Amino acid sequence: MLKISKTDKIMYISLAVWILITALRIVFHQPWYDEAHAYMMSQQLSLIDIIAQMKYEGHTFIWYLLMMPFAKADLWYPYPMLILNWLFMFCAMIIFWKKAPFHPITKIIISFSYPFLAQLPVIARCYTIGVLFMFILTDLYFNKLKCPLVYSTCLIICANTSVMALFSATAFGIIFVIDMIKGALDGIVSRKDFRISFSILALGAVLILWQLGGANSSFIGQNTTFLKNFSEFLLGTNLITNIINLAGMIFAVIIFPVYCWRNKKIFFILIFQIAMILYCFITQWGGCGHHFIFFWIYPLVAIWLMHLIDEKSKLSVIAEIVLAVMFFGQIFTHMNNSPNNFYSGSRYMAETFINDNVAENGRVIIFIEADKRFVPYVKNKNAEIYFYGTAEKVDWDSSVDNSQLTGYAKVVLVPTWIHKSMSKTRQNFALLMITKERPADGFVIEDRNYRMIFKPYIIFNNTYGLFKIIEIKK
């Protein structure tokens, strides 16, 4: 009779619980704007156009390529996208449980933390496949010269999934090139493998330059924005959780570099990844929660590598405890707020909208990019969705209108601009968040040309309203 070890039992039970929770979450998940936006791009653009568009996205193309067959065939949105993303995360979790040299308790904490339970397997973005290949590169790291073609291929796949994974792939790639040159000189790597591997890496470099060369200059980073966003991500309302998170981060900054210094290459991988992501946040973009999780994933990879060569020293034990504390804090900080974090309401809004014959045959004006999240659900219907600020039909266009009228943080309603987006033959509606200035019982705005009356038509969970627009020309 086949005996299953205690460690394997823990792994199977943990993975079974993880599968159950995450599968239920994707069944009920309603995509946010960034998920819907990537799907719309895959549906409407060719592969060449997607690659050319990546400099405006700030990402790389493989996720869009993988979605393309389902998106172009318009199959069961959003489930192919969600399931594909989940499968990548499931594979990453199997590699993590099978290969990562951590104590089972540490693995359980990491598996059920916010990044690996709530964010990556549920939100269908480009990050999950990158994490999978980061784990593959980590597992193959000490045997990379035995399989240089496989390793170089994994490097360029990883680099072409997201910018966050690109930082990791670049760090691993620099070490790989150094070891490849030394291996070729010492006769460990054959000339054939050397040439093919470098050709693969060169192809990857060309793809990255093609996609990210001349990146969008409208991405303006502010260190104050990053500090504000990161502090809101790290700290919540629970004092005990905040203490755990702060203690984990402080000890990580002290312990991890000291521990990784024992192997200068691994030290380089850790510092390079952190330095690049900090540079990105400070100079290019302030960052959001789905970006900040890499401040946990990068150290995880580095400590994983160090444990493979130094698992039993006192410092290795301390480093693993600090790693566990870091992820332990992430279990509670975001799980308490998960309904708010993950309920976008996109499907609910779309179905309510479609079931109303008047609205479904009208024109809806949306005011911020985030409200495009329900568009894939209604695109085959008779509705017209127009974007305020451009007065054009909503499509995959990634440009966020940062004008005073439609800034992402605040919408300034100007009757003259609303008039530009309104239909002359259809009923006109505005999709707006309910605020003190835009109450659910309706409101009026006017300038010297027009008076706009916003009458409530459909109110979505007291948070959003579909307002019928009545225009009076002065």
Sequence ranges of the domains in the chain: 6-341, 346-473
Q: Is 455 exposed, middle or buried (0-12, 13-18, 19+ CB in 10 A)?
A: middle
User: Does residue 201 surpass a pLDDT of 50?
Assistant: yes
Across 403-421, average pLDDT: 78
Sign of the alpha-carbon dihedral angle for 55, 412, 343, 289: positive
User: Does residue 423 surpass a pLDDT of 70?
Assistant: yes
List pLDDT tens digits, range 157-173: 999 999 999 999 999 99
DSSP for 431-474, written as a single string? EEE--SSS-TT-EEEE-SSEEEEEEEEEEETTTEEEEEEEEEE-
Residue 178 CB: number of other CB atoms within 10 A? 12
pLDDT band at 224 (very low <50, low <70, confident <90, very high): low
User: Does residue 218 surpass a pLDDT of 50?
Assistant: no
Rounded to 5°, angle at Cα 131 from 86 and 164: 120
Confidence at residue 162, expressed as pLDDT on a 0 to 100 scale: 93
Confidence at residue 239, expressed as pLDDT on a 0 to 100 scale: 86
SS3 91: helix
Comparing CA positions, the residue from 338, 181, 165, 321 lying closest to residue 252 is: 321
List pLDDT tens digits, range 106-161: 999 999 999 999 999 999 999 999 999 999 999 999 999 999 999 999 999 999 99
DSSP conformational letter for 159: H
Confidence at residue 340, expressed as pLDDT on a 0 to 100 scale: 53
The CA distances from residue 240 to 117, 243, 244, 285, 320, in Å, are 21, 5, 6, 30, 21
List pLDDT tens digits, range 386-407: 988 788 888 776 555 455 666 6
Question: Would you say 219 and 284 are in contact if contact means Cβ atoms under 8 Å apart?
Answer: yes
pLDDT band at 217 (very low <50, low <70, confident <90, very high): very low
SS3 402: coil
Q: Identify the H or E element spanning 367.
A: none
Distance (Å, whole) CA 449 – CA 462: 31
Q: How far apart are the first and last CA of the chain?
A: 87
Question: Which has more confidence, 105 or 212?
Answer: 105
Confidence at residue 219, expressed as pLDDT on a 0 to 100 scale: 47
- pTM for this entry: 0.92
> Going by C-beta distance under 8 Å and a sequence separation of 6 or more, which residues neighbour residue 324?
105, 106, 109, 110
List pLDDT tens digits, range 237-273: 788 888 999 999 999 999 999 999 999 999 999 999 9
Rg (CA), the chain: 25
User: Does residue 220 surpass a pLDDT of 60?
Assistant: no
Distance (Å, whole) CA 393 – CA 283: 32
Confidence at residue 144, expressed as pLDDT on a 0 to 100 scale: 96
> Going by C-beta distance under 8 Å and a sequence separation of 6 or more, which residues neighbour residue 444?
451, 452, 453, 454
Distance (Å, whole) CA 370 – CA 35: 10
Distance (Å, whole) CA 206 – CA 164: 18
**Pairing mode, if any, of strands 392-393 and 464-473?**
unpaired
User: Does residue 416 surpass a pLDDT of 80?
Assistant: yes
List pLDDT tens digits, range 62-112: 999 999 999 999 889 999 999 999 999 999 999 999 999 999 999 999 999
pLDDT band at 35 (very low <50, low <70, confident <90, very high): very high
